[in-house]
Amino acid sequence: MDITAAPNQVSDFLVEAQYGIADRFLLAFPCLSDPVRRTSLFTKSGLIIFHFVSVGFLFAFDGSLLERTKKEPWYTVLLLSLFVTTVFQYIFTSVSSPGYTKETMNTGDVTYAGCTISCKISIENGNLVRAWEYGRQPGGDSVKMDSESLSKLLMELYPGGINRNWTCDHCKYAQPPRAKHCHDCGKCVLKFDHHCVWLGTCIGQKNHCRFWWYLFEETILCTWAVILYIPYLKNEAHLSWWKETAAIIILLLLIFSLVFLVLLLFFHSYLIITNQTTYELVRRRRISYMRYVPENVMPFSKGICRNLYEFCCSWDRGFSLDALPTNEEMAVKTKPYTCLDVISCRCC
């Protein structure tokens, strides 16, 4: 027997055992086998832990907060209620669907350019048959359609001067205006805004409203925490070195987060009232059907009031797809506002 071969055999055995344990671990937790999902899971867990640490540190070591809790329990109830609401809003937004193009083919609640498409499922000769009905005018007669006709109808949302096959090369589904394929999610997203690495999901038509409310709640919570940490560092004169260091690190992270949140909140508020998306604003020249649109024109804006209504009240009413404006509509949008337009609330 070759004695020199023994160490190599032991090494191979240890390597096989190590990989065997890793494989069994990944089989037990499939969500960790994908590197993208693993990174997303660790990011979400880290953010949730930071929420608990930043708030829990105050309740554990801030004597003035504990005294105020005894005198004014409503103050602590408000703070904890906001904390719980923000954490749940974060989790709810991160697991919500942004609205995928594929889902529009399997739903019965889709609106194309202001007209309703309904999906009816029936069984004929033992086979499942899915038929679409398109009401070209609300309350008018419907026209039965198949998936191919539905894709052709979707092409009507583009101006006649734009000729191109809008079928996604990855999903093989026709892309309506404002949709984009997300390579992180592997799907086409309706009214694609951006892929949020902190949430681990895309922000699109179905969850943009939830995302804005999360930003709003997170901004208030972060502001409140900063207000509590500053007097804690000033008043506690005899802090141990590790408590003071931990408080300073948490405060710096909170201030950095607060600046980022405020800027993001104002930016998305602007996008909402103008009915734009981050992708359309940043990559406007790279979107082929937006190249003919003047820079100062928001082609999908329907006025501030209508934009706010659709964003706040219509996100849970199925899918809604916008048509690109015609040349006549574009000419109207390019006209500057006059005093009469302001009086008549044309901008609204």
Summarised one tens digit per residue, pLDDT across range 43-101 is 999 999 999 999 999 999 888 888 888 899 999 999 999 999 999 999 999 999 898 87
The tens digit of pLDDT for each residue in 158-172 reads: 766 555 667 788 877
User: What DSSP state is assigned to residue 292?
Assistant: T
Cβ-contact 260, 268 below 8 angstroms: no
Query: Which residue bears the tokens 């804006």?
Result: 301
Query: Which of 69-83, 107-121, 189-203, 312-326 has the weakest average pLDDT?
Result: 107-121
Cβ-contact 333, 297 below 8 angstroms: yes
The tens digit of pLDDT for each residue in 308-342 reads: 988 887 655 666 777 777 777 777 777 776 666 65
Cβ-contact 293, 329 below 8 angstroms: no
Annotated catalytic, 119?
no
Out of 196, 202, 209, 222, the active site residue is 196
* Average pLDDT score over residue span 141-147: 46
